[in-house]
């Protein structure tokens, strides 16, 4: 088996199968009807698949607190799973959940970005970047949580998987192989939700179920901006592309088939991703030719 096939197997196929197997176990006897969300064990399934991929791609953290920014993603997987379970059982307290989510995002961003204080970001620049990345992550996370709490069917995990996968290619062409693979792992495990939601298309994904994917992918993007660095505007475009399920909330789509909103959201997402990926790939090829790769 060649190197690429090994990476796909260990970083995408097996993590997705692990996530899907655990998803089926937790959600097999799930009730039906409007307003029903996925089982509280759903985030455990997604994180199990991701942690397996993380172990195979970059290994386990060698210390705590981690010394490498990528190692924080393993810790984040555990933390965000615990948070997601709490979020599942506190669904009625939306404002409290949003406030706690902001605190969590700010604390994790601080710990991950702290090595850059005084070296890359000095003085007020540190607070600007830490505050800006925290608020951006929190806002995007909250919007995804709102969509997952309101839209039944596969549209939210499908679009999020597309964006995580497309973003993985963006990171690869920005010379970050490890973050690219970790982003691809997120795409694989959240993609495992799609067949489940096709089977239980009247059920809501729920904010807690989507939390591991959004928490981990957001931290991948923060690492990309801070440590690669990838231009922040590219990550912003990826975040915007992931919000196309908002189209399903428009009155024109509410009165139509679920599949129409899924198809339109997927197509619009693909167009935005294509528009971003093409110039990024061209810049990557030009750079490789310049340096003789």
**DSSP secondary structure letters along 236-292:** HHHHHHTTGGGGGGSHHHHTS-HHHHHHHHHHHHHHHHHHHHHHHHHHHHHHHHHTT
3-state helix/strand/coil string of 197-251: HHHCCCCECCHHHHHHHHHHHHHHHHHHHHHCCCCHHHHHHHHHHCCHHHHHHCH
Percent with pLDDT over 90 in the chain = 52
Tokens of 128: 């600007």
Which pLDDT score is estimated for 34?
Answer: 46
Among the listed ranges 228-232, 234-238, 266-270, which one has the minimum average pLDDT value? 228-232
Q: Has residue 36 got a pLDDT over 70?
A: no
Which pLDDT score is estimated for 49?
Answer: 94
SS3 state at 126: helix
Distance CA 180, CA 175 (A): 9
Instruction: Please give the residue that has the higher pLDDT: either 93 or 183.
Output: 183
Average pLDDT, integer, range 3-13: 82
Q: What is the DSSP secondary structure assignment for residue 175, as one 8-state letter? A: T
Radius of gyration of the chain measured on its C-alpha atoms: 18
Tokens of 277: 């990926």
User: Residue 35's pLDDT band (boundaries 50, 70, 90)?
Assistant: very low
pLDDT tens track for 215-229: 999 999 999 999 988
pLDDT tens track for 275-288: 999 988 888 887 76
User: Residue 3's pLDDT band (boundaries 50, 70, 90)?
Assistant: low
Q: Has residue 292 got a pLDDT over 60?
A: no
Q: Mean pLDDT across the chain, nearest whole number?
A: 87
Distance CA 220, CA 174 (A): 13
User: Residue 33's pLDDT band (boundaries 50, 70, 90)?
Assistant: very low
pLDDT tens track for 42-84: 889 999 999 999 999 888 888 788 888 889 999 999 999 999 9
Which pLDDT score is estimated for 208?
Answer: 87
Instruction: Please give the residue that has the higher pLDDT: either 135 or 287.
Output: 135
Which pLDDT score is estimated for 234?
Answer: 94
Tokens of 15: 């993590």
Which pLDDT score is estimated for 140?
Answer: 96
Which pLDDT score is estimated for 256?
Answer: 76
């Amino acid at each position: 088996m060649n190197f690429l096939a090994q990476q796909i197997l260990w970083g995408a196929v097996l993590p997705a199968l692990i996530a899907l197997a655990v998803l089926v176990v937790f959600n097999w006897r799930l009730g039906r009807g409007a307003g029903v969300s996925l089982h509280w064990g759903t985030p455990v399934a997604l994180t199990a698949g991701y942690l397996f991929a993380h172990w195979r791609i970059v290994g386990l953290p060698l210390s705590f607190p981690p010394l490498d920014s990528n190692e924080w993603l393993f810790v984040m997987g555990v933390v965000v799973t615990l948070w997601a379970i709490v979020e599942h059982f506190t669904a009625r307290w939306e404002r409290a959940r949003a406030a706690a989510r902001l605190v969590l995002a700010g604390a994790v961003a601080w710990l991950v970005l702290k090595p850059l204080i005084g070296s890359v970001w000095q003085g007020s620049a540190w607070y600007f970047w830490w505050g800006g990345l925290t608020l951006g992550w929190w806002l995007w996370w909250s919007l995804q949580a709102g969509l997952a709490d309101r839209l039944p069917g596969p549209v939210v995990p499908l679009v999020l998987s597309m964006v995580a996968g497309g973003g993985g290619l963006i990171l690869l062409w920005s010379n970050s192989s490890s973050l690219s693979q970790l982003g691809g792992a997120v795409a694989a495990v959240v993609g495992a939700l799609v067949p489940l939601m096709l089977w239980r298309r009247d059920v809501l994904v729920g904010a807690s179920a989507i939390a591991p994917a959004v928490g981990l992918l957001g931290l991948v993007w923060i690492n990309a901006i801070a440590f690669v660095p990838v231009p922040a505007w590219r990550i912003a475009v990826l975040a915007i592309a992931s919000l196309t399920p908002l189209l399903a909330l428009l009155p024109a789509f509410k009165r139509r088939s679920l599949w129409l909103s899924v198809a339109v959201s997927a197509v619009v997402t693909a167009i935005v991703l294509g528009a971003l990926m093409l110039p990024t790939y061209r810049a990557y090829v030009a750079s490789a030719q310049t340096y003789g790769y």
